[in-house]
Amino acid sequence: MAIKQISVFLENKPGTLQGMTDVLAEAGIDMRALSVAETKDFGIVRMIVNDVYETATVLKDAGFICSMTPVVAVPIPDEVGGLSRVLAALNGTDVNLEYMYASLAGKTSGRAYMIFRVEDVEKAENALRSHGFKIADQDAMSEM
């Protein structure tokens, strides 16, 4: 049930990120979650979008280098300790958490989504489900 994340490699110089977001806006792509990591020479934009395949096509046609990666999205209560309970469910399972970022699910939903990049998606999803957590699918992320 993993969802697809788009990763875009950008040169670390003024205006590059806006150039990418302009391309997405012109194509009607809606970003649902976003993370930007940088180094001296380049950045990596990781995002969850409403239409993964259209996004990849639009970006590649515009000359951007991008890839798709499976990630796990977990809706959690937007409250103190919500993230800690999710991480506790993964603790002791040998699931390596490579990185994570969050997205609010809307102003009135009362929850957030944590996006996890892990080595073993199936193992992470099973561990989370066994502790009562739901796993979001691509449709849920596209509709939020």
> Per-residue pLDDT for 106 more than 60?
no
Phi, psi at 143, each rounded to 5°: -95, -10
**pLDDT by residue (tens digit) across 3-24?**
999 999 999 888 999 999 999 9
CB 6 within 8 A of CB 56: yes
CB 124 within 8 A of CB 95: yes
Q: Judge: domain 71-143, CATH 3.40.50.720.
A: no
Both tokens of 127, joined, read 């561990």
Q: How far apart are CA 28 and CA 12, in angstroms?
A: 25
The length of the chain in residues reads: 144
Q: Which residues in the chain are classed under CATH 3.30.70.260?
A: 71-143
For helices 121-130 and 82-90, give the axis angle rounded to 10 degrees.
120
Q: Which residues in the chain are classed under CATH 3.30.2130.10?
A: 3-69
Of the listed ranges 19-28, 62-71, 77-86, 100-109, the least confidently predicted one is: 100-109
Q: Judge: domain 3-69, CATH 3.40.91.10.
A: no
Q: How far apart are CA 106 and CA 93, in angstroms?
A: 31
**Predicted local confidence at residue 99, as pLDDT:** 94
> Per-residue pLDDT for 51 more than 80?
yes
Structure-derived torsion over alpha carbons of residues 47, 48, 54, 59, reported in degrees to the nearest 10 = 0
